[in-house]
Amino acid sequence: MLDRAARDTAAAGPGSRVLAFRWERDMVPPLMAVVDDVVPHRGLGPVHVLTEVASASGVPDLVAVRFDERVTSERLAAGLAPVTDLTQVRALVAAAAGSRTVEQIAGAAQVTRAYMRGSVLPALVDAGWLQPPTGRGSSALVAPRYLLRPIASDLITVEAKKAAWQRALNQAMRHAPSADGCYIALDATRATPAIAQRAAIRRLSVGLLTVDPVTCRVTVVARPRRRPADPAMRTLLAERSWQLVLAGQTAGPTFPVFGRDLTAV
């Protein structure tokens, strides 16, 4: 049962009152408690539930990730820290896929050849990922010391809103390329309009959860359709999540989105 200060009473009709969440942040503990039920089970090991982890496009309210412990152990043994810069991630993903020239890698990373040669590649060489480039100009060759492999077996995001389901949906769709699946989570007492649109929401590859403000029960109304993630964007979110876990933290450094009173939403 939620603390009384964390709830709000809203009129539901003449002579009746229904409890509703006052703060979106109070929806987080119930969601964290059942996250195993919504995370895919392709991998083994524990699920880490994190907040405020910046993706390549926006900051999901929740990130749930199960790491591939064999890959992370190999990374730690090799002294390879999390890669948290999107351009560097794109370069390493391209190199792992077979790109070998500065021109190819710069194109995949969406930067100029000069910037790739002068800034990105030196940083990745210093970090132990790449050999120093050989040759001159855009045809210079880049040889990996270590191929970047996905560290997350399972990765989902959740966007929590009390009632503004369309806003939650728009935000979740921004995160979708970064994860294996994305959900919106709504106060169960205010979720009727979204539930009525659950088929349309699912067609957009977004799932729908509701959280009861009295019992804290989380209901899976619809699971998202599978859609391919963007390899670099998914890798970035996984690497930033791993950085937090290695530091013993569960929340990123961004503005605390759950700290605002959104009772009008």
Report pLDDT digits (tens) over 35-44.
Answer: 777 777 776 7
Specify the CATH number for the domain of residue 43. 3.40.1350
Judge whether 129 and 105 are in contact, CB under 8 Å. no
Q: Could you read off the pLDDT of 13-24 as tens digits, one per residue? A: 333 345 888 777
Token pair for 127 = 């970090």
| pLDDT score of 39 | 79
Total domain count, the chain = 2
CA 261, distance to chain mean position in Å, is 24
Same domain? 135 vs 155: no
Of 264 and 48, more confident: 48
3-class DSSP string for 17-69: EEEEECCHHHHHHHHHHCHHHCCCCCCCCCCEEEECCCCCCCCCCEEEEEECH
pLDDT band of residue 265 (cuts 50, 70, 90) is very low
Sequence-ordered strand ranges (E) for the chain? 7-13, 16-21, 48-50, 62-67, 152-161, 181-187, 206-211, 218-222
Reply yes or no on whether the pLDDT at 8 is more than 60: no
Domain co-membership, 110 together with 182: no
pLDDT of residue 71: 97
Interval 148-162 mean pLDDT: 94
| Structural domain boundaries, residue 32 | 4-68+151-259
